[in-house]
Chain A
Amino acid sequence: MAVLFISHRLDEVFEIADRITVLRDGEHISTRSVEEFSREQLIREMVGREVDQFYATRQKKNYGKRVLSVKNLSKEAVFSGIEFDLHEGEVLGFAGLVGSRRTDVGLALFGIQPNDSGVIELDGQNVSIRSPQAAQNLGIAYMTEDRRKLGLAMPLSITSNITLPALKRYLGRLGLIRTESEKSTAEEFKNRLQIKTPNLTHEVGKLSGGNQQKVMFSKWLNTQPKVFILDEPTRGIDVGAKAEVHNMIRELADQGMAILCISSDLPEVLAMSDRVLVMREGRQMGILDGPQATQESIMSLAMGELRETA
């Protein structure tokens, strides 16, 4: 029988395959017999592309006091032993392949799928995060990777979507929502993030992907978080919008926000992050600091070569 075996688990590939075809971004890169491939070369070809021009690297490195500290965070059968610190003005990247459970860590920190053991410290205080409401009260925001399913209320207006999680701030006398104040918030974000729309009463569902992403970004930014968890912040949006989102993330970090950036786009992780935490199948494989982090080093951790320092 002829078998076509599709995998990113290198051990399996080397064990099972006779020939290897590397595909990247929908393009054929190479096809050779397994003997002609070394592990390192295979990784290089999978990662391939040179870092794009617009992925300018982050310069600023002097971050402030520790905001979030996570110790031995675990959730049974999902992830275990996650440990990291996050400082004011720091961007910590979360890298890993599909099935590495990066998103689940984000969901745990936002109280959607709470952790069942481990310690979360926020500003030095032990906290327990059991619901999104609790997370928001602590100043944590989480922007989902799935804006259609989890992110936006598509039939509602841009304005309603932006103010949704922070609605309490807009209550005036008699407990009624001050729609004028909502409008000015929406207007402010429209200008700041350059959301392209004929008007702010427009249904979010009718906007382009990039603009929807910006609305979602605005929505969580408007909760004025201390810790902002971004899950695939540039998924499914065009190159222009991507660069704008990247600039926004840098700007926020420069203003002192602590950012956790989950992304499967390696050049993006490298460009945005001060440090990169690499996960594989629910386990933390290591944290790469600044210059140590390269596409190759991230990929080899992500594919299961444990670092001694981890």
Chain B
Amino acid sequence: MNAIQGLRPEKLRELVLLILIALVLIVFSSVIENYLNARLFNRVSASVALMAVLAIGQTMVVLTRNIDLSVGSIVGFTAYFVGYQLSQYGDMHPMLAIFLAVGVGTLMGGINGILVAYCRIPSIIVTLGTMALYRTLLVEYSDAQTVLTVNLPRWLLDLPSLNLISFDRLHLRVLVVGMVVVVILFQIVLKYTTFGRKLYAIGSNPEAAKMAGFANQKMVLTAFLLCGALAGLTGFMFLARFGNITVVAGIGFELKSVAAVVVGGVNIFGGSGSAFGAFLGAVLIDLLENSLIRWLQISEFWRDALLGLLILISVATDSVIMKRFQLYWARKQARSSPET
């Protein structure tokens, strides 16, 4: 009991998520025949690779008490934009293509950040607006045309099936490795840099952060810039994975990224959560989605319902059950050690 009490809330959440993921695996492997196989891993990991990167960008923003609803449109736009450029200039260097995607995403994130941090417009309004704007930009730019796989360079089409290591039929794909690098990098940034600490401080108490001498507006802008950059990177991964990019690319990603973040234990009111938690949130959601669709053979339309339900459950868990638990622990502690 004492060991659990000593844990920071985000650590506790990560532990709970790991247990839940294990439970999902156990339950479904008993109801679905031949469930735990290489195909499940490859499928879920390919999908999580995109969502985890996007969710970590979202985490930066949510930590500062904001939200970015435009990430789906940023993913769609960068995927189309880079895809179109590649279909025109097939000899473009792969690094330049990635750089382009990240750059365009950062720019779009920057617009969100300036409007939120310096014009003091609530982020939910700003990003709801830019969600529609960036999507319209995509429709106009693409002229409702589709980027087709046949026009894309070979290296890009090979990228998603490129394996770093393979065990039998279990493949560790390059995109998945890229995602793992992003998760580790941002886990370190949040935990061990002044930037990360300031994000938590601003999300916990903006006024106290100002007192401590932090430039809150600059920090919020930076969070949006990073979120945009990671959304751009996700856009590139999306292009690599799907090849055919239409104007609806990335629709629904905003909901899914928020779901991953919230399920991953990042407090929607800011100030707590971790990159690793957001990653676990993305894993749990994808695993559930995949498994439920296979088990019940429900239509894909149920995915949104599942996401909605998961968001509601995790927020309810946070605000009701965790509080009950904390109260219970506090009382128990008060009884056992009267001097505190």
Residues of A near any B CB (own CB < 8 A)? 110, 112, 131-133, 135-136, 142, 144, 149-157, 160, 164-165, 167-168, 171, 175-177, 179, 196-199, 201, 203, 206
State which of B188, B208, B213 has its C-beta within 8 Å of the C-beta of A133. Answer: B213
Q: Count A/B pairs, Cβ under 8 Å.
A: 84
Name 26 A/B residue pairs within 8 A (Cβ), A-sorted.
A132-B210, A144-B211, A149-B205, A150-B208, A152-B208, A153-B271, A155-B9, A156-B200, A156-B201, A164-B201, A164-B212, A165-B213, A167-B197, A168-B194, A171-B194, A175-B193, A177-B191, A177-B197, A179-B192, A196-B340, A197-B340, A198-B6, A198-B337, A201-B6, A201-B7, A203-B9
Which single residue of chain B is at the shortest CB-CB distance from A163? B197
B213 contact from A132, A177, A198, Cβ within 8 A: A132
Q: Do residues A153 and B205 form an inter-chain contact, with CB atoms below 8 A?
A: yes
User: From residue A153, how far is it (CB to closest CB) to chain B in Å?
Assistant: 4
The reply to whether the CB of B333 lies closer than 8 angstroms to some CB of chain A is: yes
Known A176-B192, A201-B6; contact A112-B211, beta-carbon cutoff 8 A = yes
- A residues within 8 A CB of B333? 198
B6 touches A132 (CB 8 A): no
Contact call A149/B192, Cβ cutoff below 8 A? no
- Looking at chain A's contact residues, the main secondary structure is mixed
User: Is there contact, CB below 8 Å, between B6 and A153?
Assistant: no
With A153-B200, A153-B204, A198-B340 known as contacts, the answer to whether A177 contacts B211 (CB < 8 A) is: no
CA distance A103 to B208 in the complex (A): 16
**Given the complex of chains A and B, what is the CA–CA distance between A153 and B204 in angstroms?**
5
Q: Lowest 9 A-B CB distances belong to which pairs? A: A153-B204, A133-B213, A176-B192, A165-B212, A153-B205, A132-B213, A150-B207, A155-B271, A164-B212
B285-340: which residues lie under 8 A (CB-CB) from chain A? 326, 330, 333, 337, 339-340
Do B204 and A154 touch (CB < 8 A)?
yes
Assembly CA distance A132 to B14 (angstroms): 36
Size bin of chain B's contact surface: 20 to 34
Residue among B213, B267, B330, B339 making CB contact with A131, cutoff 8 Å: B213
In the bound complex, what is the Cα–Cα distance between A296 and B37 (angstroms)?
84
Check B207 against A149 for contact (C-beta < 8 Å).
yes
A304 to chain B, nearest CB (A): 32
The reply to whether A199 and B213 form a contact with Cβ atoms under 8 Å apart is no
Interface string of B204-222 (1 = CB under 8 A from A): 1101111111010000000
Is B169 interfacial (CB-CB < 8 Å)? no
**B272 touches which of A112, A155, A197, A199 (Cβ 8 Å):** A155
| Inter-chain contacts of A133 with B (CB < 8 A) | 213, 215
Q: Are A177 and B205 in contact (CB under 8 A)?
A: no
Quick check: is B8 within 8 A (CB to CB) of the other chain? yes
Q: Are A167 and B194 in contact (CB under 8 A)?
A: yes
* Bitwise interface map of B from 1 to 31 toward A, beta carbon under 8 Å scored 1, else 0: 0000111110000000000000000000000
In the complex, given contacts A144-B211, A206-B326, what are 15 additional A-B residue pairs having Cβ atoms less than 8 angstroms apart?
Answer: A135-B213, A149-B205, A152-B205, A153-B200, A153-B205, A154-B205, A155-B267, A156-B200, A156-B271, A157-B8, A164-B212, A167-B194, A176-B192, A198-B340, A201-B8
Specify which chain B residues have a CB less than 8 angstroms from the CB of A196 in the assembled complex.
339-340
In the complex, which residues of chain A have a beta carbon less than 8 angstroms from the beta carbon of B326?
Answer: 206
Beta-carbon contact of A151 and B6 below 8 Å: no
Which residue of chain B is the closest to A144 with respect to CB atoms?
Answer: B211
- Taking the nearest CB of chain B, how far is it from the CB of A216, in angstroms? 9
Contact status A176-B193, CB under 8 Å:
yes
* Contact (Cβ within 8 A) A199 B6: yes
